[in-house]
A and B are shown apart, each in its own frame.
Chain A
């Protein structure tokens, strides 16, 4: 899997490159829009991460050009602007996803993987399992070592989300967006509370400490 990264800030670029390589991706980095466009048009990438504010040529026009040449590489836009208008504009010119700086690397990774999965048309699984925990997405049943665990709808969608991203850190904002479709960070830590309830239910059924808190970053469900 090869990913194109167009980002002019050296530290951010290094941080993303490093993270993606550790996750097993090959990364090409361009530090301005023109080089980025050249790479995007000459190399076949599985995904591209493109910053909006770039020297020489801005990210939006880069994406526009790429789409004009009928290159369908999935694109994630990085931006420091979080206004809805910006987001909509970014998606209109041909971006597939939009991430506001600063972001958690785990979130970027999850989005990249999501995009690649969607563009390669991966088959939706009907069952997910991690360790001795498994859930049936059709009957919405959770079992641990053969015993059924009763979960409320929100607890189920949280567990499903964690299991889809098993082994990876998911941030609080990602959970808020996926479980409640809420894109702000409320003052009261509603995510903590739901995680806590889910943990209690899982632990009481013997799935000991499958959900780990990564302080300051989010939560991770052990893959095995």
Chain B
């Protein structure tokens, strides 16, 4: 278990975040140090040169004031006082023969005889390499007015000592910085990933148990994590709705199918029990067929509703001619309306179009007209009115039927609701649920108004897409 966890660590985002933070911190530190080191080392070198040049000037002045003996004495005095401890001073005659040589008090061995072999130009810088070491003595030369030469040089030893110090300090600081950056990186990534961790800890149980009611706590920080949490919650909400929808439709299917199934069973059973004539069997079989047809119809309707509601089957969106829809539906119900002495009227003034799934819209309108005819008594009217304004196409289905009691108006959309349960209508209360599902799937709105004894109006609005001015001009 622990090993497994350990093996997992290098793959975690938190680990990678920490490492990359530390690495960049360290890289930056090294870069900064390198720059500082370069600056310090070059300024030390410049300092040395300035010191050498100043000394040269001083000796030249001394020479001008006195004689070469004076100068020699001055040099000796300087060395004895320790002021020139790390310097080399050489005095030579016009032929570059050494008159005086004072060596720097260092552990490095320079071959000063080589200085006699090259006659340097006035003001040149010479470099004298140490024997067997990397150290280089930098030497400046000045020719005195009496053609004697004076050379002063200094090795890197003092600078090196300083830089060594600098380097050693830096190593200490760097190791502290590494520790600090790892700690800071760990802390930072922990802080940064805390919202994700809380997301994971909430999502885990949801996924394990399927309880989609839980929500991720949203911290009002206004950052990306708040956005993420909000989005996750929206997704959970959507899943919740879908799951509830599926649950509800399963319940409905189970409930609605149980009745016809029970009847089917009963019919078949009773026919089998008695020793009857073929006619009786035939009758029972016909009953069974009818009942199964009924069950199938209901199943289809429930499937239609849940397909439209959950969007599990995509709508086949095209431009649908409203007049075409209306006339197909009135044609379908003309006979029934005439039979029942109901006047079925349609008023669709122009060739309006809505964008939508033609089949679903047809089903929707047919269900509304079906419903209207069902609840309208002989001599009444059912009207379909189509209109449009700047933003929407409206469909109104009015009947002069029995109306819906106020207390039932909100319930008509429920799948299991049936207007007047005592009347054994074929209506299953599913039609209006489908109507609403289709309207909502098309981003439309549906309202119902009813007065008992006078009739009911269903008013549907479908939004028009923004650029349909040509559509309007035809109205």
Q: In this assembly, does A10 line the interface, its C-beta being within 8 Å of a C-beta of chain B? A: no
Interface string of A159-184 (1 = CB under 8 A from B): 00000000000001000000011111
Question: Known contacts A85-B313, A182-B328, A216-B293: does B427 contact A193 (CB below 8 Å)?
Answer: no
Instruction: Pick from B297, B332, B366, B370 the residue with the most CB of A within 10 Å.
Output: B332
Q: Is the interface of B mostly helix, strand, loop or mixed?
A: helix
Which one of A184, A188, A196 has the highest number of Cβ atoms from chain B below 10 Å of its Cβ?
A188
Q: Which residues of B contact A216 (CB under 8 A)?
A: 285-293
Q: Decide: A188 and B289 in contact? CB cutoff 8 A.
A: no
* Residues on the B chain within 8 Å of A102, using CB: 292, 296
The CA-CA distance from A214 to B313 in the complex, in Å, is 35
A84 at the interface (CB under 8 A from B): yes
Most buried by A among B303, B307, B331, B363: B331
Is A215 on the interface with B (CB-CB < 8 A)? Answer: yes
The answer on a CB contact under 8 Å between B335 and A190 is yes
Interface of A is mostly: loop
Interface mask (A197-224 → B, CB under 8 Å = 1, otherwise 0): 1000000000000000011110000000
Per-residue interface assignment for chain B, residues 360 to 371, with 1 indicating a CB less than 8 Å from any chain A CB and 0 otherwise: 001100110011
Whole-angstrom distance from the CB of A212 to the nearest CB of chain B?
A: 13
Q: In the complex, which of the residues B366, B374, B428 has the most CB atoms of chain A within 10 Å of its own CB atom? A: B366
Which residue of A85, A172, A183, A196 is within 8 Å of B359 (Cβ)?
A183
A187 & B290 in contact (Cβ 8 Å cutoff): no
Contact between B363 and A184 (Cβ–Cβ < 8 Å)? yes
Q: Which residues of A contact B (CB under 8 A)?
A: 82-85, 102, 154, 172, 180-190, 193-194, 196-197, 214-217
Are the C-beta atoms of A182 and B362 separated by less than 8 Å?
yes
Q: Which of B290, B332, B359 contacts A84 (CB 8 A)?
A: B359
For A184, what are the chain B residues with a Cβ–Cβ distance below 8 Å?
300, 304, 363, 366
State whether B332 touches A182 (Cβ < 8 A).
Answer: yes
A176 to chain B, nearest CB (A): 8
B327 to chain A minimum Cβ distance, whole angstroms, is 11
Among A154, A172, A188, which residue has its beta carbon within 8 angstroms of that of B426? Answer: A188
Report the bound CA distance from A188 to B371 in whole Å.
8
**In the complex, per-residue mask of B408-441: 1 if CB is within 8 Å of any chain A CB, else 0:** 0000000000000000001110010000000000
B residues neighboring A (CB under 8 Å):
285-293, 296-297, 300, 303-304, 307, 313-314, 316, 328, 331-336, 339, 359, 362-363, 366-367, 370-371, 373-374, 426-428, 431
Q: Does A181 contact B426, Cβ atoms closer than 8 Å?
A: no
Write the nearest CB–CB distance from A18 to chain B, whole angstroms. Answer: 16
A197 CB → nearest B CB, Å: 6
**CB–CB A180/B289 < 8 A:** no
Residues of chain B within 8 A of A188, CB atoms compared: 333, 336, 370, 373-374, 426
Which residue, of A154, A182, A186, A194, has the highest number of chain B Cβ atoms within 10 A?
A: A186
- Which 9 A-B residue pairs are closest in the complex by CB-CB distance? A216-B289, A215-B286, A216-B290, A216-B286, A193-B335, A193-B336, A185-B297, A83-B313, A194-B335
Quote the shortest CB–CB distance from B412 to chain A (angstroms). Answer: 14
A102 closest partner in B (C-beta): B296
Most chain B Cβ neighbours within 10 Å, of A102, A187, A189, A190 = A187
Bound Cα distance from A73 to B328, whole angstroms: 35
What are 28 A-B contacts with C-beta separation under 8 Å? A82-B300, A85-B313, A172-B293, A180-B328, A182-B328, A183-B359, A184-B363, A185-B297, A186-B366, A186-B367, A187-B374, A187-B427, A187-B431, A188-B333, A188-B370, A188-B374, A188-B426, A189-B336, A190-B336, A193-B335, A215-B286, A215-B287, A215-B290, A216-B285, A216-B289, A216-B291, A216-B293, A217-B286
Q: A83-B307, A154-B335, A190-B332 are in contact. Are A182 and B293 (CB under 8 A)?
A: no
